[in-house]
């Protein structure tokens, strides 16, 4: 693969993870500029009009939005296919991806991970326990009930691993860092599907870089990731000055 | 076309409009259940897990999310193509659609149309003039500046009319009802592109039903639309009891 693909975005973002896993599954080489969430510089705004990560830059296009990027990867490098062949299944896979991106993003990132990790460790603000309790008591079970009704007893949503499994599973890495685990007695199908997906090659390939990013202060992340062999870009669109407004989508 | 396609969603939603225009452009027959925004009944929740409109129901699948629906229409009925053939152009068309769905939805619907039309006429709440002024002074120009940089001097974003033109133009029907018009002296390219798009057959086909929906009270909409020859379904997932929570996306 001679095309150079560059990803701008941090290993802790579920949307960056979705794209990285797709790149691994398709065997596409890439470099990553792991800018810290909330810390893109002004050149980054020009790159990403809504200040979102991930951004994909290659010889043809500079793209944001993880769903648009993954579909582009599929269109340009069709094999192995990550979208079902059947048109109705393919539509349903995209719907599950959309459900994950919006509803799971809202519940697992903006409420759980934001309250338990980002607020205390990035902004130095207290966790709102009432939000966390309500999220765990109401929103998380509603999401898991829906997914349980969609998941098969074995394998993946559409037989082979697809974008739908990847899009759902990415959130359980962040949920895990917030110490949340699916109750496999209550939701056995989705617990099994997520477990199988997280154990697949693509997720395993990025896992050490994610864990290192999670426990390393922003200013030391590049050095720590480089020492671990992460495929980092030489230059960066990032700064270490926190600023609100880089969205992960 | 013997397949029966059914759309659940109101003519005033820009996302419903996007799907209807695509159906017209592809020559796909459909029926519509024009439930009033915010008024889906409980069966509607089962149909649309996030309580969003539009919903597409056909012999193969029941789908929500306008972007997922439009891509399904393209996959199942490829001609005439509404997505560019070139993979990079196709990705960029999807990005423009995503920009429109999220950023233009936020600016033109949730701020402008919501403040000037929905709040006073649906909820009986006053317009927040400060929000409207700030939106018109800052957010609308930023969106139009971005689109102006994307639009060609003539024709459409990718030569022939595509999903990108449709996705952008739908918002200017709602903006028009809120008495907003693009300043063609300041933004000539996007003003021209939107004007050409709104004059195309697909938009013209739904225009009378939209205008009628706009000036008819919810309880009388079905009768008024039927009298005008709108392709209504016989039964409905709608109620006339307003309830917050039906999202147009």
Confidence label for A92 from pLDDT (cuts 50, 70 and 90): very high
Whether residue B244 has pLDDT greater than 50: no
Whether A173 has a pLDDT exceeding 60, the answer reads: yes
State yes or no: pLDDT of B33 exceeds 70.
yes
* Domain match, A190 and A233 both: no
Q: What is the reported pLDDT for A38?
A: 60
Residue B92 and residue A50: Cβ atoms within 8 Å?
A: no
My answer on whether A54 and A34 are in the same domain is yes
pLDDT of the residue at B249 = 54
Output the CA torsion A32→A36→A42→A46 (10° steps): 50
**Does A184 lie in the same domain as A113?**
yes
Residue B30: φ, ψ to 5°: -155, 160
Name residues whose C-beta falls within 8 Å of residue B46's C-beta, 6 or more positions apart in sequence. none
pLDDT of residue A50 exceeding 90: no
Q: Are residues B101 and B159 in the same domain?
A: yes
Contact (Cβ atoms closer than 8 angstroms) between residue B114 and residue B107: no
Of the pLDDT bands very low, low, confident and very high (cuts 50, 70, 90), residue A202 is very high
Cross-chain residue pair A75–B95, CB shorter than 8 Å: no
Residue A55 clears pLDDT 70, i.e. is over it: yes
**Which of A56, A93, A95, A101 best tests the B interface by mutation, with the highest count of B CBs <10 A?**
A95
Judging contacts by C-beta atoms under 8 Å, the chain B residues touching residue A91 are: 61, 63, 68-69, 71-72, 75
Give residue A1's pLDDT band: very low, low, confident or very high (50, 70, 90): very low
Span of A47-51, A139-143, B21-25, B75-79 with lowest mean pLDDT: A47-51
Per-residue tokens: A161: 């691993």
pLDDT of residue A74: 98
Q: Is residue B207 part of a domain?
A: no
Residues B146 and B170 in one domain: yes
User: Are A39 and A72 in a shared domain?
Assistant: yes
CB contact B226 to A (< 8 Å):
no
Comparing CA positions, the residue from A59, A61, A52 lying closest to residue A16 is A52
Same domain for A74 and A91, yes or no, is no
Closest residue of A to B76, CA-based? A87
- Does residue B130 share a domain with residue B33? no
DSSP tag of B159? B
Check if B142 contacts A (Cβ < 8 Å).
no
* Domains held by chain A: number: 2
Residue B248's pLDDT band, with cuts at 50, 70 and 90, is low
Higher-pLDDT residue of A243 and B122 is: B122
A72/B61 touch (CB, cutoff 8 Å), yes or no: no
Could you tell me if A177 lies within 8 Å of chain B, comparing CB atoms?
Answer: no
Which CATH number fits the domain that encloses residue A54?
3.40.30.10
Confidence of residue B30 (pLDDT cuts 50, 70, 90): very high
Identify the residue with better confidence: B159 or B246. Answer: B159
Average pLDDT over residues B222-246: 76
CA atoms in the 13 A half-sphere facing the CB of B29 = 6
Best residue in A15, A46, A49, A149 for a mutation probing chain B (most B CBs within 10 Å): A49
Specify whether B100 is located in the same domain as B190: yes
Q: Which residues of chain B does A92 touch, with a Cβ-Cβ cutoff of 8 Å?
A: 61, 63
Residue A91, pLDDT score: 98
Q: Do B49 and A146 touch (CB under 8 A)?
A: yes
What CA–CA distance (Å, rounded) separates A226 from A137?
40
Same domain for B71 and B123: no
Which residues 145-174 of B are in CB contact (within 8 Å) with A? Answer: 146
Q: Which residue has tokens 């002074």?
A: B137
ipTM of the complex: 0.92
3-state secondary structure of B206: helix
**Chain-centre distance of CA B79, in angstroms?**
21
pLDDT band at residue A249, thresholds of 50, 70 and 90?
low
Chain B residues inside the 8 Å CB shell of A61: 88, 91-92
pLDDT at B49 (0 to 100) = 83
Binning pLDDT at 50, 70 and 90, where does residue A46 land? Answer: confident
Asked if residues B194 and B18 have their Cβ atoms less than 8 Å apart, the reply is no
For residue A197 the two structure tokens come to 């997906």
For residue B246, give the 3-state DSSP assignment.
Answer: coil
The confidence score (pLDDT) of residue B235 equals 82
Residues A180 and A106 in one domain: yes
Phi-psi sector, A61: left (phi>0), alpha (psi -120 to 50), beta: beta
Nearest CA distance, B217 vs chain A (angstrom)? 32
pLDDT at residue A239 in the model: 58
Instruction: Name A63's bridge partners.
Output: A56
B46 touches chain A (CB under 8 A): no
Interface probe with A: pick from B87, B148, B168, most Cβ of A within 10 Å: B87
Per residue in B37-71, pLDDT (tens digit) is 666 677 887 788 888 889 999 999 999 999 999 99
pLDDT band at A243 (very low <50, low <70, confident <90, very high): very low
Nearest to A88 by CA among B73, B55, B97: B73
Provide, as residue numbers in chain A, all residues whose Cβ is less than 8 Å from the Cβ of B91.
Answer: 61, 63, 68-69, 71-72, 75
pLDDT-based confidence at residue A44 (cuts at 50, 70, 90): confident
| Span B203-229, average pLDDT | 93
Q: Is A74 on the interface with B (CB under 8 A)?
A: no
Pairing of the two strands A52-53 and B30-33: unpaired
Q: What is the mean pLDDT of residues B119-129?
A: 89
- Above 70 in pLDDT, residue A97? yes
Maximum Cα–Cα distance across chain B: 51
Answer for the pair A166, A22: CB distance below 8 angstroms, yes or no: yes
∠ CA B196-B111-B51, rounded to 5°: 90
C-beta of residue A56 within 8 angstroms of C-beta of residue B84: no
> Per the domain annotation, does B175 fall within a domain?
yes
Q: What is the mean pLDDT of chain A?
A: 91
Q: Which residues of A touch B65 (CB under 8 A)?
A: 94-95, 98
Residues B220, B180 share a domain: no
Count of Cβ atoms closer than 10 Å to residue A15 Cβ = 27
pLDDT on residue B91 = 98
In a domain, B180, yes or no: yes
B134-150 pLDDT, tens per residue? 999 999 999 999 999 99
CATH number at residue A113: 1.20.1050.10
Domain membership of residue B47 (yes or no) is: yes
Task: Give one DSSP letter per residue of chain A, joined into a string.
Answer: --S-EEEES-TT-HHHHHHHHHHHHHT--EEEE-PPTT-B-HHHHHH-TT-EE-EEE-SS-EEE-HHHHHHHHHHHS-SS--S-SSHHHHHHHHHHHHHIIIIIIIIIIIIIIIIIIIIIIII-----HHHHHHIIIIIHHHHHHHHHHHS-SSSBTBBB--HHHHHHHHHHHHHHHTT----TTTSHHHHHHHHHHHTSHHHHHHHHHHHHHHHS-GGGHHHHHHHTT--B-SS-SB-SS--TT-EE-
Residue in B36, B6, B38 with CA at minimum distance from that of residue B20: B6
- Count of residues in chain A: 249
| Nearest neighbour of B95 by CB, restricted to A60, A64, A90 | A64
Q: Given this model, what pLDDT does residue A52 score?
A: 85
User: What percent of chain A lies above the pLDDT cut of 90?
Assistant: 78
Residues of chain B found within 8 Å of residue A94, distances taken between Cβ atoms:
65, 67-68, 71-72
Distance (Å, rounded) from C-alpha A14 to C-alpha A92? 20
* Residue B65 lies in domain: 5-81+215-248
Averaged pLDDT of chain B: 91
Chain B interface includes A72 (CB < 8 A): yes
């Amino acid at each position: 693969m001679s095309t150079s693909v560059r990803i701008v975005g941090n290993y802790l973002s579920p949307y960056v993870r979705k794209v990285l896993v797709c790149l691994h599954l398709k065997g596409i080489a890439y470099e990553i500029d792991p800018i810290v969430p909330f810390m893109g510089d002004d050149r980054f705004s020009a790159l990403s009009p809504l200040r979102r990560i991930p951004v994909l830059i290659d010889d043809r296009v500079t793209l944001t939005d993880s769903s648009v990027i993954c579909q582009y990867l599929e269109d340009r490098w069709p094999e192995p296919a990550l979208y079902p062949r059947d048109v109705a299944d393919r539509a349903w896979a995209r719907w599950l991806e959309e459900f994950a991106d919006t509803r799971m993003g809202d519940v697992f990132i903006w409420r759980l991970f934001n309250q338990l990790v980002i607020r205390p460790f990035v902004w130095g603000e207290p966790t709102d326990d009432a939000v966390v309790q309500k999220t765990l008591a109401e929103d998380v079970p509603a999401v898991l009930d829906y997914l349980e009704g969609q998941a098969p007893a074995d394998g993946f949503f559409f037989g082979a691993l697809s974008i739908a499994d990847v899009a759902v599973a990415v959130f359980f890495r962040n949920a895990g860092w917030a110490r949340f685990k699916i109750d496999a007695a209550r939701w056995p199908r989705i617990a099994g599907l997520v477990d199988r997906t997280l154990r697949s090659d693509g997720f395993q390939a990025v896992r050490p870089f994610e864990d290192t990013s999670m426990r390393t202060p922003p200013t030391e992340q590049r050095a720590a990731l480089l020492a671990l062999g992460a495929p980092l870009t030489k230059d960066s669109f990032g700064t270490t000055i926190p600023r609100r407004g880089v969205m992960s989508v």
